[in-house]
Every structure is written in structure tokens, then in C-alpha cells.
């Protein structure tokens, strides 16, 4: 079976996904994003969901637990193009490293 990649984001980020050729659903609120993510998770051919980081951060815990028990779809958080704070980019990289190796790294 082959799996599809889908995007889920607010309009500014969704436009970037579409330019990259990813079929994307546009949402305007975190609640709407969570509902749409649950719908995508029920589709057996959706393997990866590229999702705006701000929306991933607001996924309800119950939906997180449900998704964690499944192999697909894999949720890939995409950070905003311009970090809100100067340290946001570094924090994001540190969090990715922590998840990947299971250990918190200090860069300084």
C-alpha cells in the first residue's frame, strides 16, 4: 500500500505546502485543526501529516494518545518561517534532539 502526505495549516503556511506540491487543508483555529486531524487519521491511506507547529502544540491530549497508539499517520511539526523569539529556533532544534536521542542537550 502506498501512503499519501497531507498538509494541515493556517493559510500563510498552507500556501507554502501547496507550492511544494502537498495537498493541504486550510484551518483557522486549533480546534478546527484537531477535528480535521482526527478525520485524516481515520483515512487509511494517509501516512504523513505535515502540520504547523502552533497547531501541533494545541492538539488535545486525548487525540495525542490516540495518535500515539497508531503507526500512521506520522505527524511532522513544521515551525513557522520566522521564530517569534530569538531563541525559538534553538529551542526547536534542542527539542528535536531530545526526542531523537532521548536526552536533553545543552548547546552552550
CATH assignment of the domain containing 24:
3.40.50.10580
Domain hosting residue 63, numbered range: 4-80
Tell me, yes or no, whether 92 lies in a domain.
no
pTM of the model as a whole = 0.72
Tell me, yes or no, whether 27 lies in a domain.
yes
Could you give the number of structural domains in the chain?
A: 1
- pLDDT tens figures, 33-57: 999 999 999 999 999 999 999 999 9
Task: Please tell me the distance from the alpha carbon of residue 106 to that of residue 93, in angstroms, as a whole number.
Answer: 11
Residue ranges for the chain with pLDDT beneath 50: none
Tell me, yes or no, whether 41 lies in a domain.
yes
In terms of Cα–Cα distance, which of 54, 57, 43, 61 is closest to 5? 43
Amino acid at each position: 500500500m502506498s501512503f499519501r502526505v497531507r498538509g494541515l495549516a493556517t493559510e500563510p503556511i498552507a500556501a507554502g505546502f501547496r507550492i511544494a506540491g502537498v495537498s493541504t487543508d486550510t484551518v483557522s483555529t486549533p480546534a478546527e485543526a484537531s477535528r480535521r486531524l482526527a478525520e485524516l487519521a481515520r483515512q487509511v491511506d494517509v501516512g504523513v501529516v505535515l502540520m504547523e507547529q502552533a497547531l501541533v502544540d494545541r492538539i488535545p491530549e486525548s487525540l495525542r494518545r490516540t495518535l500515539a497508539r497508531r503507526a500512521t499517520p506520522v505527524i511532522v511539526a513544521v515551525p513557522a518561517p520566522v521564530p517569534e523569539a530569538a531563541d525559538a529556533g534553538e529551542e526547536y532544534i534542542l527539542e528535536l534532539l531530545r526526542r531523537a536521542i532521548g536526552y536533553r542537550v545543552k548547546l552552550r
